[in-house]
Amino acid sequence: MSTRRLAVKLALASGAVALLLFSNLGNGLNKVLAQVKRRIVGKGTPVSDLMVANPAKLDTSLLETTPMGAFDVMGQTVYPVDLANWRLEVGGSVRRPVSFTYDELIARPVLERNVLLICYGFFAYNGLWKGFSVAELLKEVGLLPGVSHVKFSGPEGLRRKTRKFAIAEVASDKIFIAYGVNDERLPERHGFPMRLVAEDHKGERWVKYVNRLTVIGG
């Protein structure tokens, strides 16, 4: 067997192992989280009662969706975008660094669910976020061995915000990217065109105007 053919086979094998590990990490995290005792938030609970709660300790499956008119906001609220030139860049420890257009992203299989956003001490709201699975996207571009985290970054500048999350959380789809909320296109002040939804994390960990994903090695 030629050296080149052997290298290709080894690369394919390592890629398959990485995908299996990615899937197992997500399943393992879901099992752990299912065992964590959470306080059930009853139907009709005012979201104002949750402003100082830890979202990771709440079961909000009964909580109604908060109307858009009651959404509040902190941080950057203006980020004009030319969608013809805007791209979501994906790089770092991946086999195929790539960039996606807005239309390509909204054409992906939809991930949609209610997730509670708590800006500690200021406000809380339970949005119906619509977007796509970062886990599935990363499977497509391919992960290199030894990945540990994914970093999500907003636009360049003095106010740039970046946050990183363990690969297991991303694999579980508790961390995903949204382009819509409450059956509307994501408003500019809430992060258009793309924002990070970080279930079980307080608002300071959510990132608006996401335009780059960087996979970090171990």
pLDDT digits (tens, 9 = 90+) for 70-108: 999 999 999 999 999 999 999 999 999 999 999 999 999
For tokens 């619509």, the residue is 130
147 is a domain residue = yes
8: domain range? Answer: 3-36+65-217
pTM of the model: 0.84
pLDDT tens track for 31-40: 544 546 899 9
Confidence of residue 28 (pLDDT cuts 50, 70, 90): low
* Residue 42 clears pLDDT 70, i.e. is over it: yes
What's the rounded Cα separation, in Å, for the pair 79 and 166? Answer: 28
49 is a domain residue = no
93 is a domain residue = yes
Residue 193, CB half-sphere, CA atoms under 13 Å: how many?
A: 19
83 is a domain residue = yes
Q: Two tokens at 26?
A: 């997500």
90 is a domain residue = yes
What's the rounded Cα separation, in Å, for the pair 40 and 63? Answer: 9
Please count the other Cβ atoms lying within 10 Å of the Cβ belonging to residue 65. 13
CATH of the domain at 111: 3.90.420.10
What's the rounded Cα separation, in Å, for the pair 150 and 213? Answer: 7
Burial class for 183, CB neighbours closer than 10 Å (0-12, 13-18, 19+): exposed
C-alpha torsion 215→104→133→22, nearest 10: -40
- Mean pLDDT in residue range 2-16: 45
pLDDT tens track for 121-165: 999 999 999 999 999 999 999 999 999 999 999 998 877 899 999
Q: Are 130 and 180 in contact (CB under 8 A)?
A: yes
Burial class for 210, CB neighbours closer than 10 Å (0-12, 13-18, 19+): buried
pLDDT tens track for 201-212: 999 999 999 999
* Residue 27 clears pLDDT 80, i.e. is over it: no
Number of H helices, E strands in the chain: 4, 12
What's the rounded Cα separation, in Å, for the pair 14 and 138? Answer: 15
What's the rounded Cα separation, in Å, for the pair 12 and 49? Answer: 51
60 is a domain residue = no
Task: Name which of 74, 73, 42, 46 is nearest 58 in CA terms.
Answer: 42
162 is a domain residue = yes
* Residue 30 clears pLDDT 60, i.e. is over it: no
159 is a domain residue = yes
Amino acid identity for residue 162 in this structure: T
If one counts the domains in the chain, the total is 1
Pure H helices in 77-190: 102-106, 134-141, 167-171
